[in-house]
Amino acid sequence: MNIIISQHRYCTTVGQQPNNTVISYPNVGKWVPAFSFLNALYKIVLRGNQSSNLLTIVEELIYIGNASRCHYHTKEDETIRVLNGTLQVYLDGYQFCAPAGTSFYIPRNVIQSHRNLGSKPIHVELLFTPSNIDNYLEEVTPVFAAQPVNMTRAGELARKFGVVHLPDIPWKDLNCAFNDSTLLISSLHMTFFIIVLHIFVFICDKLQENF
C-alpha cells in the first residue's frame, strides 16, 4: 500500500494512492486564532488542492460570548454544521437558534453572522464550495496576527478573495443559551427518573422475595 503524507502550515492530511483519496484525522492540523472573532480558533481540515479545488473544510472553535464579524462571500457557498452547544445565527435579517446537529446552507452573497452565548465553547464545521477560502485564510491570518494590524492589507485581501465585511448587526434575544441549558436540565430530569424507577423496581423485587 502506497501512503502519501502531505503537510501544510495549517493542515496535515494522509492520502492513499493511486485513487487520490484524502483522509483527515481529528488530531491533525494546527489551531490558529480566527481573525473574524475576538476569541476563537480555526484550523483547515481539507484544502482545495487536496479536493481538485472542489471544496475546503474548516473547523472552528467559538469561545463563550463571541460573535463573528458580519460578512458575506461573493465567490463561495458555505455550509455550517454545529457539533455541540447552541449557536445563534443571523442570515440576511433572519435569526434562529441552531442546536448541536443543525446544518444550514448559505449561498454566496447572503449576509451572515453567528454567536455563542452558552456556557461552553461551540465547535462547528464549515464547508466552502468551490475551494478558495483556504487561500484567503492562509494570506490574511498573518496580517491579523501582526501588531498593529495592517487594515489596508487586510482590506486588499478581502476584496481579492470576495469577502465583504459589514457593520455589526442588531442581535435579538432568542434565549439560545437558555434553550441549550433547558435541554441539559431535561436530560438530567430523565436520568433522575430512570434511577428512581430502577430503585422502585428493586424494592418491589425484594418485597416479593420476602412474601
User: Which tens digit of pLDDT belongs to each residue from 25-52?
Assistant: 777 778 888 876 667 899 999 899 888 8
Residue 89 to residue 87: CA distance in whole angstroms = 6
pTM score above 0.85? no
Assess whether pLDDT exceeds 80 at residue 169. yes
Instruction: With CA atoms as reference, report the closest residue to 161 among 172, 169, 153, 149.
Output: 153
Q: Regarding the domain with residue range 29-174, which homologous superfamily does it belong to in the CATH classification?
A: Jelly Rolls (2.60.120.10)
Q: Domain-by-domain residue ranges, the chain?
A: 29-174, 175-211
Residue whose entry in the numeric block shows the C-alpha cell 466552502? 128
- What amino acid is encoded at 45 in this protein? V
Helix or strand or coil: residue 112? strand
Q: How many C-beta atoms surround the C-beta of residue 151 within 10 A? A: 10
Helix or strand or coil: residue 191? helix
Q: Which three cell numbers stand for residue 197?
A: 424507577
Round the CA-based radius of gyration of the chain to a whole number and report it.
Answer: 22
User: Which tens digit of pLDDT belongs to each residue from 50-66?
Assistant: 888 999 999 999 998 88
Confidence band for 9, pLDDT divided at 50, 70 and 90:
very low
Residue 177 to residue 142: CA distance in whole angstroms = 33
